[in-house]
Structure 1
Amino acid sequence: MALDIKPVGGYAFPRFRPEKGAKPARKTASERGRQRDEAHLALVRRLPCVASGSMANVEAAHLRFSEDQFGKVSPGRAKPSDEWVLPLCHAEHMRQHAMGERDYWAQLGIEPLKIAQRLYGISAALRASREPEKDIIRHMTGIVERARAEATGEPIGRGK
């Protein structure tokens, strides 16, 4: 005959609902979905086009492709987080969409995710330290101009 052993007070079953006041577990960036940063987008729109150097009709062009090296996972058809943007004039933005992103950036000789990461890093850091907007734009413009100079071989600061 088998012995039936039960704990005093019965068995404890796991709770499926968090206790009141408990903080939910922090989600990863990919679980949170698209992160918006309108202040960063506004700054990017004031930079020269990374492809042409033009200051006219500059748009914040989102980079949609994935790259494990940068921890960027493709959101599918959804627009990616605002940290993954580069300044492109309207004509270059349309050309980028028509060609396909990887081909477009390869033709320009620009590493877009690396530049976007640098732009967002300096933007976030300087905004957090309450730097004046003109100083933030100056630093971000330097990143864009260096990227163009590396890709084209032109001296820095020869934008259209």
Structure 2
Amino acid sequence: MAFKIAYSNPEPPPKRRPQKRSDYLSFIHELPCAVTGRYGVQAAHVSFANSWHGHYGRAKGTKAPDRFALPLSPEEHDLQHSGKLGSERDYWASKGIDPHELANTLWGLFCDYDYSEAVVRCTARINQGLTRIQP
């Protein structure tokens, strides 16, 4: 008896990978950490797929698209990838953050406003999320 492996994404991944966006990664470094609110962040790419949000995961040997990078302190970035809290999906769930939703929000603000206003608006969005998830 043969078993069919269920494809977790309803859509196949795109054939062409998105271009790298060094301007966006520089922008991410201007923001506070999405988990702690501290500055001095690294651009942490969300690796797991979520086709609803347009993220089809990583191709072999590549990072996720830069659009799905979030600002994390070096300690949180290490924790994100360490497996100490389980999978990367488990890490984000433990923080009470939907990383795909937040990444799309930051990306949209970056695209819609001039640089300085985008920094202000993204910082405000991150800070609003921090007050929502912290006791």
Under TM normalisation by the shorter chain, which class is it?
0.7 to 0.9
Of 110, 114, 122, the match for 2:109: 122
2-structure distance, mates of 1:91, 1:75? 23
Name 2:68's counterpart in structure 1.
84
Percent identity of paired positions between Structure 1 and Structure 2: 29
1-structure distance, mates of 2:93, 2:33? 16
Report the TM-score, using the length of structure 2 for normalisation: 0.81
- Gapped regions of structure 1 (runs ≥ 5): 1-28, 154-160
How many residue pairs get aligned? The number is 119
> Which runs of at least 4 in structure 1 moved beyond 4 Å after TM superposition?
none
2-structure distance, mates of 1:96, 1:61? 8
- Gapped regions of structure 2 (runs ≥ 5): 1-12
Letter in 2 for 1:79: K
Bigger radius of gyration, 1 or 2?
Answer: 1
Equivalent positions of 1:109-148 (< 5 A) are 109-126=96-113, 131=114, 133-148=115-130
Q: Does 1:150 align with 2:129?
A: no
RMSD over equivalenced CA pairs, Å: 1.5
Give deviations 1:20-59, integer Å, cap 9, x for gaps. Answer: xxxxxxxxx8222132111111111110001111113x01
1-structure distance, mates of 2:131, 2:98? 13
Q: Does 1:39 align with 2:52?
A: no
